[in-house]
Amino acid sequence: MTRLHLFDLDGTLMYGSAAPVEISRQLGVGAEIAQLERSFAARQIGPHQFSVAVHALWAELTPAHVRAAFDGAPWLAGIRDVWQEIRRRGEYCAVVSLSPSFFVELLLEWGAHAAHGSVFPEVPFTRPVEEAGILTPEGKVMVADRLCEQFGVTRGDCVAYGDSGTDIHLFEAVSVSVAVNARPHLAARATHVYEGRDLREAYQIVAVARPEVDAS
């Protein structure tokens, strides 16, 4: 039996930061994104309002800014090692995040089988953000269900890794969950809890020993 590992990005794969924060840092609008992040965390604005606001904030965004933000982000150690091991076991790994798809999809380069984020227009922006493309916490479960169908697994075969309230619905939907550097209210709902900066250690909590396949 195989498994599907579902990874949140902001605060989970990335330690103490988020894609919008790293992108905004490249544009010199750190104070503005900090205020938006606080409003979102306090539920004063929702995912669509947040996305519209950052779209306006990033009017000067270029692909070079996106790449610099990605390359300079505080990623956990061992991400590529974990995904390589998951592939070796014949399992699947995917990233499901509320952050912009143009950033999330860069993780395909590191070995994720799939990467889903909020659908933003191409960079540099020439079109507005469409509400239908913005992912919500509930929408993460819908994406997970589509991935289950794609990879031939069920929710019972899934492991979710997350850090915040946007992961609660997904944690409740799957059989195993790992709270990674998480807020207390999510950690209390998780199967396992990990604090640290190495994804290999978080993955090891749920890794299942398998006999090696004889390739001869």
Q: Which of 188, 187, 185, 191 is nearest to 173 (CA)?
A: 191
Yes or no: say if 50 and 131 are a contact pair by the CB < 8 Å rule.
no
Q: Which of 72, 94, 73 is nearest to 145 (CA)?
A: 94
The CA-based diameter of the chain, rounded to the nearest angstrom, is 59
Average pLDDT for the chain: 94
Rounded Cα gap, residues 134 and 119, in angstroms: 6
Count of CA atoms in the C-beta half-sphere (13 A) of 136? 10
Amino acid 207: pLDDT: 86
Model confidence pTM above 0.75: yes
CA triple 37-42-137, angle to 5 deg: 80
Q: What is the pLDDT of residues 54-87, one digit of tens each?
A: 999 999 999 999 999 999 999 999 999 999 999 9
Q: What is the pLDDT of residues 146-170, one digit of tens each?
A: 999 999 999 999 999 999 999 999 9
Yes or no: say if 52 and 58 are a contact pair by the CB < 8 Å rule.
no
> Which residue carries 């794609």 as its tokens?
150
Yes or no: say if 141 and 170 are a contact pair by the CB < 8 Å rule.
yes
Any residues with CB less than 8 A from the CB of 51 and at least 6 apart, and which? 100, 118, 120, 129, 134
19 DSSP β-pair partners: none
Rounded Cα gap, residues 160 and 136, in angstroms: 16
Percent of the chain with pLDDT over 90: 95
Paired sense of beta strands 92-100 and 158-162, if any: unpaired
DSSP state, residue 8: -
Any residues with CB less than 8 A from the CB of 52 and at least 6 apart, and which? 128, 129
Rounded Cα gap, residues 149 and 83, in angstroms: 20
Distance of CA 185 to the CA centre of its chain: 19
Yes or no: say if 33 and 20 are a contact pair by the CB < 8 Å rule.
yes
Q: What is the pLDDT of residues 176-213, one digit of tens each?
A: 999 999 999 999 999 999 999 999 999 999 985 344 44
DSSP state, residue 175: S
Q: What is the pLDDT of residues 103-141, one digit of tens each?
A: 999 999 999 999 999 999 999 999 999 999 999 999 999
